Amino acid sequence: MSTEMTMHSLLIKITCGAEAPERANQAWTVAAMGVAAGAGVSVWLTGEAVWFAVPGRQPDLELPYATPVADLIETVRLAGSITVCTPVRRAPGAPREDLVESATIQAQRSFVEAALADNVQALVY
């Protein structure tokens, strides 16, 4: 039996923003900790969470004792990936601004495909 551990990828879907600050902060914290642990981290944003991918419009979650969400986003952006779901981006009232550097826009189908891949742990917040 091998003692070598296989590193899993971490796929995190965030569905909330400033209206649920604890949940949103927890998602970004888990993503940043995944990066620190050496996992491949991919964050997918939908609903109010898409604002986290818009420079200068990222909500301040204002949680005492929590790492500022902008710092967590930057950690993930530099070492992982951030994706905005296509249907949300097209919705009325959705942000039309440019996204943070290296963020992409993809369809929900791509999230499902990524979640079903081998050695992937998917979490939804």
SS3 content of the chain, % helix, strand, coil (to 5): 40, 20, 40
DSSP lists the bridge partners of residue 14 as 45
Check residue 44 and give its pLDDT: 97
Check residue 120 and give its pLDDT: 96
Kindly report the CATH class assigned to 12-124: alpha beta
Q: CA-CA distance, 39 to 82, in Å (whole number)?
A: 14
Q: CA-CA distance, 63 to 4, in Å (whole number)?
A: 39
Q: Where are the domains of the chain?
A: 12-124
Q: CA-CA distance, 63 to 116, in Å (whole number)?
A: 33
Check residue 65 and give its pLDDT: 93
Q: CA-CA distance, 60 to 120, in Å (whole number)?
A: 30
Walk along the chain (125 residues) in steps of 10 and give the mean pLDDT of each run.
66 96 97 96 94 86 92 95 81 69 88 94 96
Check residue 91 and give its pLDDT: 61
Check residue 88 and give its pLDDT: 65
